[in-house]
Amino acid sequence: MDLDVLTQFPKLFKEIQDLVKEPMEKRRENRRAFFEREIAPVHESMEAIHKDYSSAFAELLDLFEREGDVQRTVELMRKRRLTELPKRQDVRAFHDAVANLKRRSYLQKRELEALRIYAESIWEYLTWTGPVQKRESWFKGFIDAFQRIASQGESPFLPRDIPEIVATRPPVISVKAAYYAAVHEELPAAWQQYLKAYRELKLEFTR
């Protein structure tokens, strides 16, 4: 599943710029319809993304803690993210759209400010890198070494130095700690930040 939710926002910003020019009664009616038509599906996509991230990291942590199925561990470590970040031109379009809102003072309109905050909360969540990658540059080499050690008939879960990796402690310990932090701290915090922006947007568009 490839859900590129950020690419939608330049169009959504433009729709709201047009909407806020309408008379108040029509504006109230149309922004409710806008929320149900445009934002509710984005939120459903984000829930699917979060479920995918959470289940994958929780399973990896469990596999490392009980020294479980090696092939499944490798598969999950190599697994591509549910969503790929937008292509470079789409990233530029997203940031240009936000910059334009600020430059032209559109953010004085509460609807546009709430939509901007929501869009940027999605950006922050999707650019939250994997828990090991953001700490260690050697993660790809670790996966290769993990698989190689297993193919030699040894347990790759045991703490050991890996010649091609320079680290202050056995890399497997760092990897396990990173997944623990992701499951218990970082991913829940990133999701709560997103939910706060979503709830404030929903309140603004449905009040």
Q: What is the pLDDT confidence band of residue 84, given thresholds at 50, 70 and 90?
A: low
Q: What is the pLDDT confidence band of residue 63, given thresholds at 50, 70 and 90?
A: very high
Ramachandran region, residue 81 (left: φ > 0; alpha: ψ -120 to 50; beta: rest): beta
Q: What is the pLDDT of residue 27?
A: 79
Q: What is the pLDDT confidence band of residue 19, given thresholds at 50, 70 and 90?
A: confident
Q: How many domains does the chain have?
A: 1
**pLDDT at residue 86 is higher than 80:** no
Q: What is the pLDDT of residue 113?
A: 87
For the chain, helix (H) and strand (E) counts, in that order, are: 9, 0
Check: CB of residue 179 under 8 Å from CB of residue 61.
Answer: yes
d(C-alpha 201, C-alpha 117), whole Å: 8
The domain of 25 spans 5-206
Q: What is the pLDDT of residue 146?
A: 97
Q: What is the pLDDT of residue 37?
A: 93
Check: CB of residue 205 under 8 Å from CB of residue 34.
Answer: yes
Instruction: Give just the sign of the alpha carbon dihedral 188, 87, 80, 177.
Output: negative
Q: What is the pLDDT of residue 8?
A: 84
**Which positions ≥6 away from 150 have C-beta within 8 Å?**
70, 74, 156
